[in-house]
Amino acid sequence: MKILVLNSGSSSQKTALFEFGAGDLPDPALPIWERKLEWKGAEDRQSAAAEIIEELWGGSNAVIGSPSEISAVGHRVVHGGAKLTEPVVIDPSVKQSIADVSEIAPLHNQAALQGIDLVEKLLPGIPQVAVFDTAFHRTLPPHATVYPGPYEWFERGIRRFGFHGINHEYCAHRAARLLKLELSSLKIVTCHLGNGCSLAAIDGGRSVDTTMGFTPLEGLMMGTRSGSIDPGILTYLMRKGTSGDQLDSLLNHQSGLMGISGVSSDMRAVLKAADEENARAQLAFDIFTHRLKSGIAAMAASLGGMDVLIFTAGIGENSSQTRDAACAGLKFLGVSLNHDKNSSVDGDTDVSAADSKVKVLVIRAQEDWAIAQKCFALTSL
Ligand code: AMP
């Protein structure tokens, strides 16, 4: 059974094909084919994506004989809102629910809807499954869900959801397997540090706290997003004439590593500039790791302890300096890194010191594989 995964983001689209056979697959399994498109600006995204998908069965690099070999298509959908809390086979009412929530996450959910429409055209009749980044956080308790504004906000649907759930969940399961321990016995803090950054507190496999909220803007400092700031800044700026749309752009696109360093939203470029004694780049790194460290401690407090600390996604997997700086202040929680292992990570690696009370792991994000598995589970019955 072949499953195509479309991971349509605001700035790129990843497409991958997985093959499920009769026997057990390795976990994680590698795709038999994958492509990534980075969006540059005003290109025609639907036709660019269509060309990539058609490469699967047409042209000299074809990996399947015809589109009918694809049994199902899985999509990453960033925001499921309050209604969509499990992977679901897409029908017109699911599409409408995804469109309804796109008011909260416009860039992300519209990209997923375009992907769904494209598959309807290219592969008519093939079951499509939506897998939501918010779904894993459906177990957040009320005190981690409701904002301390007027209660009426909550009644209107303004509440915390949390994101990156597909990867937070995958990492928790992967950690238990790597450590040969029962997930149900573990208190885990996962640090998803990519272009977007969020933490999750996972108790016995259930998400009990996370740093992103109503939108993927709350919490940690990110590539171009501010993360949490004093909301009084917003009312101050609005009174001074900044519009809602301008605030949205400032907070989502002109803040974070980019906004502070003035160099780049990419941690590699920020670290390089800091090495060259660019003071604002150094400040950007220091704010990033200061907030990361406080966030990890807050997640540990929500859990009442921490057995495992996981670093994942672009920065989490690749930046030993970030892991080092975040862990340096966490000795009091029992976190101690093995510096040799931390500076030579290869694949999923235990980087904790022998005497560390907390296991510190680096785990490669495998979102597409996680989506393919959920899609397989729903459509192979
Ligand atoms: P992701 O969203 O998971 O693809 O992560 C992308 C981000 O990871 C980039 O914008 C960089 O900030 C970061 N990144 C990737 N490779 C490295 C690296 N070797 N060192 C530091 N940061 C990196």
> Residue 77's domain is classified under what CATH number?
3.30.420.40
Using the atom order of ligand 1, give the atom closest to the CA of residue 192: 3
Residue 378 lies in a domain: no
Residue 72 lies in a domain: yes
| Cα 320 to Cα 72: distance, rounded to the nearest angstrom | 38
pLDDT attached to residue 265: 96
pLDDT attached to residue 216: 94
Q: Are 289 and 355 in the same domain? A: yes
What spacing in Å lies between the alpha carbon of 235 and ligand 1's midpoint?
A: 33
DSSP for 129-157, written as a single string:
EEEESSGGGGG--HHHHS-SS-HHHHHTT
Tell whether ligand 1 has an atom less than 6 A from the beta carbon of residue 223: yes
| Cα 259 to Cα 285: distance, rounded to the nearest angstrom | 12
Tell whether ligand 1 has an atom less than 6 A from the beta carbon of residue 316: no
Q: Which of 132, 154, 172 is the last residue of a domain?
A: 132
Looking at ligand 1, which residue's alpha carbon is closest to its atom 19? 318
Give the pLDDT of the chain (381 residues) as one tens digit per residue: 999 999 987 778 899 999 998 777 888 999 999 999 988 877 888 888 999 999 999 988 899 999 999 999 999 999 999 999 999 999 999 999 999 998 888 778 888 999 999 999 999 999 999 999 999 999 999 999 999 999 999 999 999 999 999 999 999 999 999 999 999 999 999 999 999 999 999 999 999 999 999 999 999 999 999 999 999 999 999 999 999 999 999 999 999 999 999 999 999 999 999 999 999 999 999 999 999 999 999 999 999 999 999 999 999 999 999 999 999 989 999 999 999 999 999 999 999 999 999 999 999 999 999 999 999 999 987
pLDDT attached to residue 34: 95
Tokens encoding 246: 């301008």
Supply the range of the domain harboring residue 125.
Answer: 2-132
Q: What total number of domains does the chain contain?
A: 2
Tell whether ligand 1 has an atom less than 6 A from the beta carbon of residue 266: yes
Residue 164 lies in a domain: no
Contact between 210 and 137 under an 8 Å Cβ cutoff? The reply is yes
What spacing in Å lies between the alpha carbon of 311 and ligand 1's midpoint?
A: 12
Tokens encoding 220: 């940690």
pLDDT attached to residue 9: 77
Contact between 131 and 166 under an 8 Å Cβ cutoff? The reply is yes
Q: 159: burial class by Cβ within 10 Å (0-12, 13-18, 19+)?
A: middle
The model's pTM is 0.97
Tell whether ligand 1 has an atom less than 6 A from the beta carbon of residue 313: yes
Residue 152 lies in a domain: no
Tell whether ligand 1 has an atom less than 6 A from the beta carbon of residue 216: no
Residue 45 lies in a domain: yes
Residue 155 lies in a domain: no
Q: Using the 8-state DSSP alphabet, how is residue 25 labeled?
A: P
Q: Are 199 and 341 in the same domain? A: yes
Residue 32 lies in a domain: yes
Q: Are 229 and 295 in the same domain? A: yes
pLDDT attached to residue 21: 84
What spacing in Å lies between the alpha carbon of 317 and ligand 1's midpoint?
A: 8
Distances (CA, A) of 52 to 59, 68, 114, 192, 366: 11, 17, 15, 28, 21
Q: Are 66 and 191 in the same domain? A: no
pLDDT attached to residue 153: 98
pLDDT attached to residue 42: 75
Tell whether ligand 1 has an atom less than 6 A from the beta carbon of residue 211: no
Catalytically active residues are 133
* In the block, residue with structure tokens 């060259």: 276
Q: Are 116 and 190 in the same domain? A: no
What spacing in Å lies between the alpha carbon of 218 and ligand 1's midpoint?
A: 20
